[in-house]
Amino acid sequence: MKKEIIPVEHVQNVIFLLRGQRVMLDSDLAVLYGIGTKILKRAVRRNLDRFPADFMFKLTTDEYHALRCQFGTLKRGEHAKYLPYAFTEQGVAMLSSVLHSSRAVHVNIAIMRAFVRLREVLNANKTLALKLKELENKISSHDESIHTLFEAIRELMTPPEPPGKQIGFHVRESRAKYGMRK
């Protein structure tokens, strides 16, 4: 088996969730492709008709600052002068037709595998979440039954109240009152 040019785990670390979509930023893609971000953006601008809004979008200033906060403080000179582009899975696939190199093809294969693996993990988590919800529902119905059972046990543990009128001979404490000896 041929060694992968980029490990899938590395690609998964640079996939973000923005605007409800899993995306990759232009700077991360440029690093993976082994080219400068400026070159990648230039290739995209020359072929804008290949990148509709559902393939690629430019981050807003707020989105960019939110991502910067996630990464921590950036070193001087390492932040972008222009707002980055975010590419969806389809946009990343389209990049291979814009960037003409064998590395671009191999990188795209690794990226597509990462997106597929990420989808599989998310589906597995959804299945697990559904099973967990079913278990919670079963437990909550059992909780009601167990609560009722404990109530019944508590009732059995409480001593019965003495009946109103007692039957039989009873010695009264007040014998001295009538002059009786013990």
Return the closest-CA partner of residue 99 out of 59, 53, 42, 14: 42
Report pLDDT for 70. 64
Q: What is the DSSP letter of 58?
A: E
First to last CA, the chain: 106
* Distance between CA atoms of residues 96 and 107, nearest Å: 9
Report pLDDT for 16. 84
Report pLDDT for 42. 92
* Distance between CA atoms of residues 11 and 21, nearest Å: 16
Report pLDDT for 181. 58
Report pLDDT for 159. 72
Backbone angles phi, psi at 18, to 5 degrees: -135, 135
Ranges of each domain in the chain: 8-127
> Do β-strands 15-18 and 85-87 pair in parallel, antiparallel, or remain unpaired?
unpaired
Q: What is the CATH number of domain 8-127?
A: 3.10.260
Name the pTM for this structure. 0.58
Q: Each residue of 139-169: pLDDT tens digit?
A: 766 777 777 877 877 777 777 666 666 666 6
Report pLDDT for 166. 65
Report pLDDT for 72. 56
* C-beta of residue 34 within 8 angstroms of C-beta of residue 102: no
Report the chain (182 residues): mean pLDDT per 10 consecutive residues: 62 83 90 89 91 91 79 53 87 84 79 82 76 75 74 75 66 58 56
* Residue 122: strand, helix, or coil: helix
Q: Each residue of 124-146: pLDDT tens digit?
A: 777 777 777 777 777 766 777 77
